[in-house]
Amino acid sequence: MAIIFHKQSKCFHLYNNEVSYIMRIMENGQLENLYYGKKIHDKEDFTYFHDEAMRSQMSVCIPEPGLLSMQYTRQEYPSYGTGDYRSPAVTIAQENGSRIIDFKYAGHEIYSGKKEILPLPATYVEEKEEAETLEVTLHDNVMDTDLILSYTIYEAYPVITRNTKFVHKGKEKIVLERAMSASVEFLDMDYEMVQLSGGWSRERYVKNRKLEMGIQSIQSLNGTCCGAEHNPFFALKRPHTTESQGEVYGFSLVYSGNYLGQVEVSTFDMTRVMMGINPEDFSWELKSGESFQTPEVVMVYSDKGLNKMSQTYHRLYRKRLMHGEWRDKARPILLNNWEATYFDFNEEKILTIAKKAKEAGVELFVLDDGWFGARNDDYRGLGDWYVNLEKLPDGISGLSKKVEELGLKFGLWVELEMVNKDSDLYRAHPDWIISAPNRFESHARHQNVLDFSRNEVVDYIYEMIAKVIRESSISYIKWDMNRYMSEPYSKGSAPCEQGKVMHKYILGVYDLYTRLTTEFPHILFESCASGGARFDPAMLYFAPQTWCSDDTDASERTKIQYGTSYVYPIVSMGSHVSAVPNHQMHRITPIETRANVAYFGTFGYELDLNLLSDAEIETVKKQIAFMKEHRELIQMDGDFYRLLSPFEGNETAWMVVSSDKTQAVAAFYQRLNKVNASWLRLKLDGLDANTKYEVSCDMAPVTSYDAKIAEAYGHKTDEDSVKTYQAYGDELMSAGIPIDREELNKKGGDFASLLYTLKKVDE
């Protein structure tokens, strides 16, 4: 790993064993990107990578006979107005009305390690030797403003992180109207854009499109979160790139609010990528001495396909974005009462559910919505964070201790950023909601958004919920957030400050998370936003897992979890076994398949185990025992491989392989059954070709399979149903595992699944 500045050629070269990033200081003092891709040898001069020619209608930004034109240059941080007619990374309004800016090279610093950018979350290092950072300072003399471009390259990962900081020194104020975190340019347009898009209960579906001239983008204007519609990530891959081979560039924004991810292709085939805070409804005034920090973009390069890109994100985010006590711990197996009771519960019912959960082997019971204020439905009570003593006469304090006496840990649901108008909080502080003067206040889920851009609101909520936690035995908090922002206006800010409100709101959320995780470091926080609408890297900094989706149907979850795995580690995905018919899809799937999907995440249950048959309870006990045995591999140690895409066919498959390649768990899922169908082979990945493995699969019929039918077909349900054989890694990866369709029939046919465990055989 190194960052080198070649003084004579004015070239910077950032590189490690896998990736190189090269740029130079141009004749006009601005920065140009020369190369980003697979690692190449360093040398003194790369300036010949600059392309230049006379073109019709080009504007030249240096004195004649120079030909430097910004329209045809791969800039590091472009602006509009001096001959570049593409989208800018930065726009600054000045007192005289001008938006023309000119940031020229003023100096740079190279140092070991990586600085924090608080209050924004970001990736980090524990030892300085893990990374090296370049900070390039550019200066605009007219505004007297510094622009600091920060680049960090990790030694162990093909990762470069980017962020930008503005430091204003001039006497006259300026207003940032656009301040992207990073901009990167490529010489050609031969890429496909991969994004994760969807909606409630179908979050993060994989979408691909070929780049064309013009602009293609993803964004959020939701205010409170990145949203279920588009995740703050996209990748550019070569058309023939697959999961296991080919080039791909990933771009992931560590931010939870309004963002823009944009790819612009010029009519000369040049591709400009930029990412950062969405400029819509954003303006940030800077007076002399003030500064503004942008969020971080994490860029990953892979020349070994999409799986390698994803594994890089998984390792980095698991080890150098998550932090705190739970970063390196496998997750407890939990049961949440929401789909079991909704709002209709009392202490007796809760303890009955918790007792059965303990008998099955569950480790953590989570009490969901409905425990506070007058919260008997979603019309009232939100914001009143004191216990409903009619439901829970001994309060959360008493209930949590009773649950712990059963041998379980206790968890609690909260939604701290929202308020019902039918609440004591709203009646006392009606001006504390986000709403515009003299405008209709749009509502969603019968609630409004508290103004977290105001310190006094965050202070109030912190004190209320911290009191509940201090008085109770709480090991886990599910932090929900169930609506987007509308009428974005703060009654606590001056008219000229309204362009700051949505960013300040997110900073308020980070502030509350920081306070709670600091005071209660032992608590495992799980973020949630009407399902998976706030599944972003910044949340993982505070809460190392996120509820993946409200859709708990096993078949749909294969799509959601498959797409989520493009960026986010398996251990971050909240995944539960729920009741059937499923409450979202009204579909019936085998309980084995529901677990086989949920294993590849945090794993838990979202139902009342008292309503299951004895046979199903025995199955649940086996599932919990399996997860306890394999969760270190699945959640903490293993590398995840996608094998078959649910977006491309009827089957889905994925697997986790231990870092030493001595064990693995693989899963195969069928959506709809087929009659008189072709043969199937499941080809694995990530194994050691020369290692012999014992491959095991439980072929027992599904729990709900009728005993008489099973007997008629000769299907056994005892230990003899475990099928085991041995094969070398090269066979398993190249020839694959033969899948008998009759075994899928025994597993239920539609929505059947098979789970394989692999262990190294000592020879």
Q: DSSP for 429-478?
A: -GGGB---TTS----BTTBEEB-TTSHHHHHHHHHHHHHHHHTS---EEE
If residue 215 lies in a helix (H) or strand (E), which one and from where to where?
strand 214-220
Residue 306 dihedral angles phi and psi, to the nearest 5°: -70, -35
Calculated CA dihedral for residues 297, 298, 304, 305, nearest 10 degrees: -50
740 assigned to active site: no
Q: Give the C-alpha separation, 173 to 694, whole Å.
A: 69
550 assigned to active site: yes
Cα distances (Å, whole numbers) of residue 491 to 431, 439, 440, 498: 7, 13, 15, 9
Cα 210-178-529 angle, rounded to 5 deg: 70
Strands (E), 692-731: 692-698, 722-728
Task: Read off the DSSP letter of residue 209.
Answer: E
Query: Within a 10 A sphere around the Cβ of 427, how many other Cβ atoms?
Result: 11
Q: Is 681 helix (H, G, I), strand (E, B) or coil?
A: strand
Let me know: does 189 contact 271? Beta carbons within 8 Å.
yes
Q: Give the C-alpha separation, 356 to 335, whole Å.
A: 10
The amino acid occupying position 660 is D
If residue 744 lies in a helix (H) or strand (E), which one and from where to where?
helix 741-746
Q: List, in sequence order, every residue forming a beta bridge with 728; answer none if it has no partner.
A: 692
- Catalytic residue from among 140, 550, 639, 685: 550
Number of helices followed by number of strands (H, E) in the chain? 14, 39
Q: Give the C-alpha separation, 451 to 539, whole Å.
A: 19
Task: Read off the DSSP letter of residue 713.
Answer: T
Let me know: does 141 contact 166? Beta carbons within 8 Å.
no
Let me know: does 246 contact 293? Beta carbons within 8 Å.
no
- Catalytic residue from among 140, 369, 384, 480: 480
Let me know: does 617 contact 600? Beta carbons within 8 Å.
no
If residue 403 lies in a helix (H) or strand (E), which one and from where to where?
helix 395-405
Q: Give the C-alpha separation, 186 to 195, whole Å.
A: 18
Query: Within a 10 A sphere around the Cβ of 442, how many other Cβ atoms?
Result: 12
Q: Give the C-alpha separation, 272 to 278, whole Å.
A: 16
Name the residue with tokens 């602009």.
215
Give the list of residues 6+ apart from residue 200 with CB closer than 8 angstroms, or none: 228, 530, 531, 533, 550
Give the list of residues 6+ apart from residue 401 with CB closer than 8 angstroms, or none: 472, 473
How do beta strands 248-254 and 90-94 pair? unpaired
Q: Give the C-alpha separation, 540 to 238, whole Å.
A: 29
Measured over all CA atoms, what is the biggest interatomic distance in the chain, rounded to whole angstroms? 91
Strands (E), 99-158: 104-112, 131-140, 145-154
> Could you tell me the two tokens for 620?
């649940």
How do beta strands 737-739 and 230-237 pair? unpaired
Angle at which helix 395-405 crosses helix 347-360, to 10 degrees, equals 30
Q: Give the C-alpha separation, 364 to 332, whole Å.
A: 6
Task: Read off the DSSP letter of residue 450.
Answer: B
Q: Give the C-alpha separation, 507 to 118, whole Å.
A: 10
Q: Give the C-alpha separation, 1 to 8, whole Å.
A: 22
Q: DSSP for 583-645?
A: TTT-----HHHHHHHHTSSS-EEES-GGGS-HHHHHHHHHHHHHHHHHHIIIIIIPEEEEEE-
- Supply the residues annotated as catalytic: 480, 550
